[in-house]
Structure 1
Amino acid sequence: MRLLFVTSEIFPLIKTGGLADVSGALPAALTSVGLDIQILLPAYRGIMAQCHAPRLLGSLQVFHDIRCDIYQTTLPGTQLPLLLIDYPALYDREGGPYHHPQQGEWQDNPLRFGVLSKVAAMLSVPNTLQSWQPDLVHCNDWQTGLTPYYLRQFSSAAKSVFSIHNLAFQGNFHADWRMRLTLSEQDFQPAGYEFYGHLSFMKAGLYYADALATVSPTYAQEIQTEQFGFGFQGLLQHRAQDLVGILNGIDTQVWDPATDPFLSAHFQVKQLSNKTLVKQALQVELGLQPIGDAPLLGVVSRLTHQKGLDMLIEIVDPLLTAGCQLVVLGSGEPAMEQQYLTLMQQYPGQVAVTIGYNEPLSHRIMAGADIFVMPSRFEPCGLNQMYGLRYGTIPVVANTGGLADSVHGGTMGADGKLPKTMTGLVMADNHPSTLLVTLQQAIQIYANSRQWKQLQTQAMQQDVSWQTSAKHYLSLYKNVMSV
């Protein structure tokens, strides 16, 4: 089966969040189960230079005034074929893939990702660039949402799967963009790509794709409710038979405590003592007091309301007063960034806050912390809690989405033993006081070294690889192709 995997970001070339990690790891896992895959990505600034010998395949007339060059190379560190859309006026810019350096969204994002979506469809019909054509196109999030629409516009034989990584980000734009993007006027309606008077990339993906996938079984159910559906719950209920939730995995070669190049020492489930050395090195690096038995809480996250990290600020004082340490890496809402920076000033040597994105530091926090804090109000899948499991850094999570599917809570038995299925602690509800109680429970277990080692061992023995997920995707693809 030939598969075109279309994404707006991919690790290690360009990353703003979990989509990049998924895009970097899932195609490799799918290749290992026998698929013939090409990946399609815009050539943002600096990407060509990171790739080995990009070869010009030719060009495509995407819109009447936009002709893009298409280059073929491989994803660094792999043999995966990577196609890059080279159009400097749209992609060769300072800033991130979606936002300019001042944090606002690029005003021409509809055109930038309209081009990505349309190129994917153009590569799925006979073209002058290559004889390879996909049987199936796997689209990811709103940035690729118009691809299933263009596939139908071109009468392509290729089927489409549209993956929802986060329904909160929808790509809704002024209706006038539909002319610029050559979308049919008659499809600008509820039974089409229209969403409350806007052109919606997400709506197009949800409406026109042959099958819908999301990144955890629980999230697939949640998005059919008013609380988590963000206005799409009716359409998702209507398409429930076409919707499947497949839990993400992680790249267990990139995230491996036994070989991680970003760590000063290595450890594994049968030899956990070196984890203490990683913790000590992290404390020194970030200017924390080198206290070995102080529970070290870790956060690697966007600092937003969705992630529930305002709740941590509310309840962290009693934990710090009791001797805990806290390390935070992330960026997001300016007010929340400032609150965490203020916390660091209030507790010098006990709280370390790094604003921004730092991949090596994220590895050291995931490995060096004792407890990973992830109280998200909603979480389609989440990957950091799986990194925590892999590194024996016990996750404390909310009972939602992929957190509920990947972290198994439990309570201590009368005999003082933990359940053999327990891998972390799960909040009963999303409330600051519940977060405090759950973290105190984790710290209580931490104080009992025998129980803590049992919990770490059970967490590290969880299968968080992509192999199981890849088999589920292969099954989904076969079902789509058989219809």
Structure 2
Amino acid sequence: METTVSPADLEGTKAEMAAAMADRDEQVKKIWMLSREYGELAGAGGVKDVVYQLAEALARWNGRSIHVVLPLYGFIDAGEHGFEPLPDPFCSGRNLRLQIEMSQPDLFVLEEVRYYYITINKVHLYFVDSERYRQKTDVYTYSEMDENRVPWQRKATGHHDYFAMNLLLQKAALELMIVLGEKPDVIHCHDGHTAILPALIRENAGYKSYFRETGCLVTIHNAGYGYHQEVFDLPYAVSITGLPQHVIDNNQLDQKFDPLLVAGQYAVVNTVSENYARELQETESDRLTGGLGHELLQRNVILEGVTNGIEPDLFTAAAIAGDDRSMLFYPGNSEDSLAGKKRCKESLLELLGQRSSFPGVRCFGSIEKNARNPLFTFIGRLSEQKGVDILMEVLEVLLARNPHVQVLVLGTGGSDIDAGLMQLAEADGVRGRMCFLQGYSPEMANRVFAAGDFFVVPSRYEPCGLTDFIAQLFGNIPVVHHVGGLVKVIDGVTGLAYPGDTPDDLLEALERALVVYGDAELKRKIQLQAVQEIERNYTWARVMRKYLDLYKKARSSQLCI
């Protein structure tokens, strides 16, 4: 039986939707976020993009008050970015300075912090300035500069005081909220670096009453080994956090106090894709996290999943074209022949041929200027988690079998993988067909995204993945291992996907890509469909609504305690 919808019914439905949105928004107006990364200010991975884009998306809608707190690292000049010292609201003519308790066993310790502030695109940003942060020349690890200065601070190893860095940020943010008289509806904590905060405001007497009506959401961007920010020294954990002994004792994973585990007791917890949440709690993939997902499940903590969004306007050829309009293109426009993309490819190959220098990037190997050849690209951290060891093995075979294939790798990581890529790029049989760009530069990354025909993501596990989105927006077809958040790539529709985790599986997928490259109509169809899928389901305007639901859940659950 055919049904019809009357204008009155339609108006009623619209009214109900508007009322539902209003109800959701009414409960969540004041949102504070804590993160170790944010946009171009400080970044080491995809967290910087998620926090920045989500904050700005939230700030654009319905008059919300969005605040983000992050450390002022030694590589950041606050003044150059327009930040100003935050005035003390109680002492006219003086900038705000606070003493934060950071005690150790049998030793009472106070650390002084100051704050810098700016509003950008309606987002209120705060830097926490301390001697501890000023000593750091990278976000999470020691840099080459550090190693040259202090030999034991080996490049790419984590900061020895990581736990104190994290606690200082969380305590300094809470003290800032109190001084400013801010009582957030929700505090959104990003990753293990800020995941102890929910326990602090529920268990520490100094915060308990003030934040009585504040809910907490903890987003796990990566639950793998090395990302939990756990600590083995339990007496130290008790002293520096100020948490009761029983909280430390009851939230250990592998005999270490685990911030992500304790978060489940005091906050709503989500991961950055629905499938990653499922993998952590329903599959053997959780072994890669030390069993975090299953331990949370045993405690009746169900991980929520929200696949990250992306802001398409931030990833266009305009970022690299400058005054050269011939480089402009948009894969989501069916009328665009992508001549601009070809021009971007020619431009990058020309720059590489001239050995042009880019800040933060060293070039090994070479690529001939032949834009007709298929160009495979990779951008990311050079680690086993990202599957780069498998990629190296496969590239050697792919290049040997296909003399017309070109390869471009941009990234840095462990010295062994870096050395292997240098050796491969400069091998006799590969010369002229592969470049390894060691390091990272945002401009170079955009150029590689725009120039590439295929973007390889061979990760062993991937909580969400943003580079596949970015590649699609540049018409660079992703070839992904179908795990975690990478399942959003639809095989043969918005990219190419392979289920296995062996070199043979990846090689087969790359050879399928060569077949697609030879079919111009199919290639263009995949490029178009990929952008349409993003615009339909993955813009931040859409994904933001899912976070609003989690914020509402976090606040409601707190009010019901």
Which of the residues 150, 168, 175 maps onto 1:115? 168
How far off is 1:145 after superposition? 1.5
Task: Judge which range, 371-380 or 89-98, deviates more.
Answer: 89-98
1:23: Cα distance to partner?
1.3
Q: Does 2:387 correspond to 1:316?
A: no
Please, which of 280, 297, 310 is the counterpart of residue 237 of structure 1?
A: 297
Task: Tell me the residue number matched to 2:142.
Answer: 100
1:60 aligns with 2:98: yes
1:380 and 1:401 in contact (8 A); partners too: yes
Match of 2:133 in 1: 91
> 1:283-432 residue pairs with structure 2 within 5 A?
283-287=349-353, 288-321=367-400, 322=402, 323-346=404-427, 347-404=430-487, 406-410=488-492, 422-432=493-503
Residue matched to 2:242:
182
Give 1:373 deviation, angstroms.
Answer: 0.3
Q: Distance in 2 between matches of 1:109 and 1:241?
A: 27
Provide the rounded CA distance (Å) in 2 between the counterparts of 1:183 and 1:262: 53
Runs of 4+ in 1 over 6 A off after TM superposition: none
Q: Is 1:212 equivalent to 2:241 in the alignment? A: no
2 CA distance for matches of 1:23 and 1:262?
27
In structure 1, how many angstroms separate the alpha carbons of the residues matched to 2:61 and 2:83?
A: 27
Alignment partner of 1:476 is 2:550: yes
Paired residue for 2:255? 197
CA contact (8 A) 2:280 2:294 kept: no
Q: Out of 448-457 and 115-124, give the one that drifted further.
A: 115-124
- Aligned partners of 1:213 and 1:246 also within 8 Å: yes
- Aligned equivalent of 2:5: none
2:196 is the counterpart of 1:149? no
Q: Against the structure 1 CA distance between its residues 217 and 184, is the aligned structure 2 distance closer, same or farther, given a 3 Å change threshold?
A: same
Cα 1:176/1:98, change in 2 over 3 Å: farther
Structure 1 residue matching 2:426: 3-state secondary structure: helix
Name the amino acid aligned to 1:408.
Answer: I
Report which stretch shifted further, 285-294 or 135-144.
285-294
Deviations 1:170-227 (A, max 9, x none): 112222322133232222223x3x3332232232323332x01110000011111342
Q: Distance in 2 between matches of 1:241 and 1:167?
A: 15
Bigger CA drift: 389-398 or 58-67? 58-67
Match of 1:25 among 53, 66, 71: 53
On the 8 A contact 2:457/2:481 being kept in 1, the answer is yes
Tell me: CA distance 1:455–1:119, structure 2 relative to 1, closer, same or farther (3 Å): same
* 3-state SS, counterpart of residue 253 of structure 1: helix
Cα offset, 1:466, TM superposition: 1.2
| Contact 1:29 1:470 (8 Å CA) reproduced | yes
Give the aligned residue type for 2:141.
H
Q: Distance in 2 between matches of 1:424 and 1:468?
A: 22
Q: Distance in 1 between matches of 2:369 and 2:220?
A: 42
| TM-score, normalised via structure 2 length | 0.79
Other structure's SS at 1:133 match: coil
Percent identity reads: 28
Report how far residue 241 of structure 1 moved: 5.7
Q: Distance in 2 between matches of 1:456 and 1:369?
A: 12
5+ residue gaps, structure 1, are 411-421
Cα distance in structure 2, aligned partners of 1:180 and 1:94: 20
CA distance in 1, matches of 2:414, 2:157: 12
Tell me the secondary structure at the aligned position of residue 37 of structure 1.
strand
> Offset of 1:114 from its aligned partner?
0.5
Output the amino acid matched with 1:122: E
Does the 8 A contact of 2:249 with 2:257 survive in 1? no
Q: What secondary structure, in the 3-state scheme, does the structure 2 residue paired with 1:40 have? A: strand
Bigger fraction of residues in helix:
2
Instruction: Find the aligned partners of 1:199 and 1:373 in 2 and give their Cα distance.
Output: 36
- Identify the residue that residue 415 of structure 1 maps to in structure 2: none
Match for residue 133 of structure 1 among 177, 183, 191? 183
Cα distance change, pair 107–282 in 1 and its aligned pair in 2 (3 A): same
Sort the Cα spacing of 1:181 and 1:446 in 2 relative to 1 into closer, same or farther, 3 A.
same
Cα distance change of structure 1 residues 3 and 161 upon mapping to structure 2, 3 Å threshold: same
Are the equivalent residues in 2 in contact too, given 1:283–1:290 (CA < 8 A)? yes
User: Out of 194, 197, 221, which is 1:165 matched to?
Assistant: 221
Q: Runs of 5+ in structure 2 lacking a partner? A: 1-28, 88-95, 102-108, 144-154, 354-366
Which structure is larger by alpha-carbon Rg, 1 or 2? 2
What is the CA–CA distance in structure 1 between the aligned matches of 2:187 and 2:511, rounded to whole Å? 47
Measure the CA separation in 2 of the matches of 1:12 and 1:24. 9
1:29 to partner: Cα distance? 0.8
**CA shift at 1:123, angstroms?**
4.1
Match of 1:74 in 2: 119
Closer/same/farther in 2, CA of residues 432 and 240 from structure 1, 3 Å limit: farther
CA distance in 2, matches of 1:50, 1:221: 43
Name the CA distance, whole Å, in 2 between partners of 1:245 and 1:109.
27
In the aligned structure 2, how far is the partner of 1:166 from the partner of 1:84?
24
| One-letter amino acid matched to 1:442 | A
Listed one character per residue, the Cα deviations across residues 398-450 of structure 1 (whole Å, up to 9, x for unaligned) are 1111110x21113xxxxxxxxxxx01011021111011111111110111111
AA in 2 matched with 1:8: R
Aligned-partner residue type, residue 255 of structure 2: G
C-alpha separation between the residues in 2 aligned to 1:80 and 1:310?
40
Partner Cα separation in structure 1 for residue 220 and residue 542 of structure 2:
19
1:49 aligns with one of 51, 73, 79: 79
Task: Identify the range of structure 1 (277-286 vs 393-402) with the bigger mean alpha-carbon deviation.
Answer: 277-286
For 1:451, the aligned partner's letter is L
C-alpha contact (below 8 Å) 1:223/1:236 kept by paired residues: no
SS at match of 1:233: helix
What per-residue deviation string (whole Å, max 9, x for no partner) do you get for residues 121-150 of structure 1? Answer: 3345xx23x133211100001110111111
